[in-house]
Amino acid sequence: MSLDEIKIGGMGASRRRVEDNRFIRGKGKYVDDVVLPGMLHMEILRSTVAHANIKSIDTSAAWEVPGVRLVLTGEMMAARNLAWMPTLSYDTQAVLATDKIRFQGQEIAAVIADDPYIAKDACAKIVVEYEQLPAITNPFMAQDPAMPIIRDDKENQPTNKIFDWEIGDKERTDQAFAEADVISTIDLHYPRSHPSPMENCGSIADYDRATGKLTVYMTSQAPHIVRAAVAMVAEIPEHQIRIISPDLGGGFGNKVPIYPGYVISILASILTERPVKWIEDKTGNLISTGFGRDVYLNGQMALRKDGKILGMRMHTISDHGAFYADAQPTKFKIGLMHSTFACYDVPAAHLTSEGYYTTKAPGGVAYRCSFRVTEAMFFQERMMHAAANDLGMDQAAFRRVNLVKDDMFPYRTAFGFLTDSGQYDKCMQVGMEAIGYDNFKAEQEEARKRGKLLGIGISTMTEPLGAGNSREYDIIGIKMFDSAELRVHMTGKAILRTGAKTQGQGHETTWAQIVAHELGIPADDIVVEEGDTDTAPFGMGTYASRSTPVAGAAVAMVARKIRAKARKIAAHLLEVSEEDIEWELGRFYVRGNQERGVTIQDCALAAYSNIPDGLEPGLENNAYYDPPNLTWPFAAYFCKVEVDAETGVWDVLQFVAVDDCGVRINPMIVEGQVMGGLTEAYAMANMQYITFDEEGNCIGANYMDYLLPTAWETPGFELHEVVTPCPHHPIGAKGIGECATVAGPAAFVNAVMNAIEHTGVRNVDMPLMPNRVYEALQTGKDVSGMPPVKVG
């Protein structure tokens, strides 16, 4: 009797989440919930100005506050060679400022005290004298020779430019443009955004002088990378470092980098010989930790009259803040920006990029995307929108002409990626039908007669998810593979550990489903653990939608190794040769005699109690998975909006999302990921951004200015699915966590533009705040969102 896979919580089951059992009871264990005996509390003093030489720092009054144990400054860090630390992009970043302030919110000093209230009291008593320098709030100002050099700490840094980079075929692209009937252009700014998980960053460092062991509880999406980095920075042997990433209150890329606060808490614990807890406040999180985006995107497209794309050019100018701290593979200076147009058949393409320092917080993290893919796809779909208009072609028809056809896979993109599967046109059809695309034009015209501005927007994309392969992808030189370790106990229950780190994605639930699928062990019999570097196998963590593509594949592979060994044990138990054994879910049987069989649980028991000669006891193994390629999910999003012409306020009338992420392990969780991602997309399109005024003050340093939508504004989403299994992934799955955030923004923006572009406007920069939309309607001109914001 074969098992019912859905009943045992295998693949395809919308299994209710295991982790919820503790979360709904308030029994999650986040970093701030950890209390260690004798623990001290740390608060950081941040700069109030954006750019200034430090004339003096006087901490004497802070030391006098009763309950203060330690006050750390950059000078004291420097004495231990810890004033600076390496970033994930081979730059350096100040831990505590020694020479000058390079962004508002930069870390100046830290107070360690008996409780955080006292630490805050003491921070308020530190006196810093500044000598102000001009704030540089965009990369164009950074190029002004009259502006100071921000990174005067570095040798060979005569300007504020960080890099020039290019990829693609310039000559072929130039040729395509020479042959074009129509050339379309677009200029965009993808504004600075912040991943802003609900939980801020924090750490508890616990250095034990007796054993020499450093244990750090930390809000990290990639604890093993942190362990390696700490070993390098703090010169503590790697085997003496244990990073524990407990429950994370969201990450979205914000918890990939290593932040000054972590490093300071470690030194503070070493110096005080007590555990030191640092929990950032929301302002600290928004003002200083890894932002996303902040790129100026300029492009042209060469088109034939019939709508065929002949080639595209793209130029990016990126604002990296004061330290180049992008979390991305080494060889790509602007992440995977060149994944742009991967779903379209574009014969020739060329991308040039330049990056600059500004007096803003560092970051450039992959905010819910695979290394700048969000910018790449936003550019792509805004470019497509503009090009269709320039051609006078219908938006959907133009896309369908150019989308890669099903029979063209594997398809090599103009920038060299290999996409391997998809049914792009089918996704388009599903979406168009759901939103009533064919009726829309009539609807729009009719509404306009009543003075209503309706618009429809489309965004389609395939994105590269699941880095590696390790040939091309690394973080600070560490290759991007991942791992799983499976231990099947003698009663047939199991524990699984991976090198990934869940932050709400539900790994504890879905990984068990993969094992259930491969072995027939009920998912409820498998416990999943992640995030403790002393127990988890080495892995690169969770970001860039890489968990299911890489760690999830490792889970399948280790389960298959276990099954292979169990097969030998089954042969022994059934007294036949291994070749005569057949497998069905959860059970081996003798070929030709299905009644005669043993369950996987029988094999587990035998692995510890009745081992055949020549076979090692036990039923435990591990697998390290280096994917042969990225996975390429596809999304087609359709959005219908109404714009209030009098105020510029717009409302979403309908949103249809069609996602093809290959085989869905847990459909409920996949849909949850899509809805969450769409909400972040809506947020970016509508309200969520960080900007700066002329003095370099951060606007968006708390939730009064950095607006996240509530349940009230957030529209409802209609979800549809198409399934094209990934050809190389062991269970046919593709990444999904980020598709909606990546493809979503352009759907909203294109819809609003469609409603207002009769005025002649081509672009309004995100977020499409009412005042910007109104201005575009009034003037018919593009509206730029480039900082600094004028005040007065």
- Among all residues, which ones are annotated catalytic? 221, 368-369, 738
The amino acid present at 761, given as its one-letter code, is V
The three-class DSSP label of residue 752 is: helix
Q: By CB neighbour count within 10 A (0-12 exposed, 13-18 middle, 19+ buried), where does 56 fall?
A: exposed
The CA-atom distances, in angstroms, between 624 and each of 93, 480, 538, 555 are: 32, 11, 9, 9
Contact 216, 230 (CB under 8 A): yes
Residue with tokens 């002393």: 534
Cα(162)–Cα(581) distance, rounded to whole angstroms?
61
Contact 625, 552 (CB under 8 A): no
Minimum distance from CB of 119 to other proteins (Å)?
8
791 is a site residue for other proteins (CB under 8 A): yes
Nearer to other proteins, 32 or 525 (CB): 32
Minimum distance from CB of 706 to other proteins (Å)?
9
Half-sphere exposure of 678 (CA within 13 A, CB side): 28
Minimum distance from CB of 370 to other proteins (Å)?
19
Minimum distance from CB of 16 to other proteins (Å)?
6
248 is a site residue for other proteins (CB under 8 A): yes
Half-sphere exposure of 8 (CA within 13 A, CB side): 22
For helices 553-574 and 600-609, angle between their N-to-C axes, nearest 10 degrees: 70
Q: 580 is written with which tokens?
A: 């005569």
Nearer to other proteins, 209 or 790 (CB): 790
Pick from 285, 103, 96: nearest CA to 196: 285
Contact 3, 586 (CB under 8 A): yes
Pick from 371, 325, 357, 356: nearest CA to 468: 371
Contact 158, 337 (CB under 8 A): no
Pick from 105, 106, 88, 89: nearest CA to 97: 106
Region near other proteins per CB under 8 A, out of 73-81, 210-218, 634-642, 645-653: 645-653
Region near other proteins per CB under 8 A, out of 241-249, 396-404, 415-423, 620-628: 241-249
The amino acid present at 322, given as its one-letter code, is A
43 is a site residue for other proteins (CB under 8 A): yes
Minimum distance from CB of 275 to other proteins (Å)?
14
Pick from 299, 294, 234: nearest CA to 262: 234
Give the DSSP letter string of 171-236. HHHHHHHHT-SEEEEEEEEEEEE----SS--EEEEEEETTTTEEEEEE--S-HHHHHHHHHHHH--
Minimum distance from CB of 668 to other proteins (Å)?
5
Q: Which residues are paired to 73 by β-bridges?
A: 109
Instruction: Kindly identify the residues of this chain, within the stretch 255-314, that bind other proteins according to CB under 8 A.
Output: 281-283
Pick one of 445, 646, 723, 779: the residue that binds other proteins (CB under 8 A): 646
Instruction: Kindly identify the residues of this chain, within the stretch 361-380, that bind other proteins according to CB under 8 A.
Output: none
Cα(600)–Cα(758) distance, rounded to whole angstroms?
66
Cα(357)–Cα(354) distance, rounded to whole angstroms?
11
Instruction: Kindly identify the residues of this chain, within the stretch 720-739, that bind other proteins according to CB under 8 A.
Output: none
Cα(756)–Cα(778) distance, rounded to whole angstroms?
10
Pick from 605, 575, 603: nearest CA to 588: 603
Minimum distance from CB of 386 to other proteins (Å)?
26
Pick from 287, 230, 237, 294: nearest CA to 258: 230
Instruction: Kindly identify the residues of this chain, within the stretch 417-476, that bind other proteins according to CB under 8 A.
Output: none
121 is a site residue for other proteins (CB under 8 A): yes
Region near other proteins per CB under 8 A, out of 197-205, 399-407, 443-451, 519-527: 197-205
For helices 437-449 and 424-435, angle between their N-to-C axes, nearest 10 degrees: 40
Counting residues that bind other proteins (by CB under 8 A) gives 86
Instruction: Kindly identify the residues of this chain, within the stretch 661-720, that bind other proteins according to CB under 8 A.
Output: 668-669, 671-672, 675-680, 686-687, 691, 699, 702-705, 707-714, 716-717
Minimum distance from CB of 198 to other proteins (Å)?
4
Nearer to other proteins, 133 or 276 (CB): 276
Region near other proteins per CB under 8 A, out of 190-198, 300-308, 325-333, 490-498: 190-198
String of contacts with other proteins for each residue 574-613, x by CB under 8 A = ----------------------------------------
253 is a site residue for other proteins (CB under 8 A): no
For helices 373-391 and 395-402, angle between their N-to-C axes, nearest 10 degrees: 110
Nearer to other proteins, 43 or 482 (CB): 43
Minimum distance from CB of 124 to other proteins (Å)?
7
Region near other proteins per CB under 8 A, out of 18-26, 71-79, 303-311, 624-632: 18-26
Nearer to other proteins, 257 or 700 (CB): 700
String of contacts with other proteins for each residue 505-544, x by CB under 8 A = xx--------------------------------------
Cα(74)–Cα(744) distance, rounded to whole angstroms?
42
Nearer to other proteins, 116 or 725 (CB): 116
187 is a site residue for other proteins (CB under 8 A): no
Query: How many other C-beta atoms can be found within 10 angstroms of the C-beta atom of residue 345?
Result: 16
Nearer to other proteins, 234 or 701 (CB): 701
20 is a site residue for other proteins (CB under 8 A): yes
Pick from 392, 391, 390, 376: nearest CA to 459: 376
Q: 626 is written with which tokens?
A: 């280096």
Nearer to other proteins, 99 or 705 (CB): 705
Nearer to other proteins, 443 or 713 (CB): 713
Pick from 427, 434, 387: nearest CA to 404: 427
Minimum distance from CB of 330 to other proteins (Å)?
30
Nearer to other proteins, 309 or 639 (CB): 639
Contact 767, 749 (CB under 8 A): no
Minimum distance from CB of 736 to other proteins (Å)?
13
Instruction: Kindly identify the residues of this chain, within the stretch 78-117, that bind other proteins according to CB under 8 A.
Output: 114-117
Pick one of 74, 139, 197, 541: the residue that binds other proteins (CB under 8 A): 197
Nearer to other proteins, 535 or 702 (CB): 702
Minimum distance from CB of 664 to other proteins (Å)?
14
Pick one of 9, 10, 32, 427: the residue that binds other proteins (CB under 8 A): 32
Cα(582)–Cα(595) distance, rounded to whole angstroms?
12
Pick one of 527, 649, 653, 786: the residue that binds other proteins (CB under 8 A): 649
Nearer to other proteins, 67 or 436 (CB): 67
The CA-atom distances, in angstroms, between 323 and each of 108, 162, 327, 407 are: 16, 9, 12, 45
Minimum distance from CB of 700 to other proteins (Å)?
9
Q: 512 is written with which tokens?
A: 């068990």
635 is a site residue for other proteins (CB under 8 A): no
36 is a site residue for other proteins (CB under 8 A): no
Pick one of 30, 140, 163, 409: the residue that binds other proteins (CB under 8 A): 30
Cα(589)–Cα(581) distance, rounded to whole angstroms?
6
Instruction: Kindly identify the residues of this chain, within the stretch 765-784, that bind other proteins according to CB under 8 A.
Output: 769-771, 774-775
Nearer to other proteins, 223 or 627 (CB): 223
Cα(160)–Cα(169) distance, rounded to whole angstroms?
28
Pick from 758, 422, 488: nearest CA to 620: 488
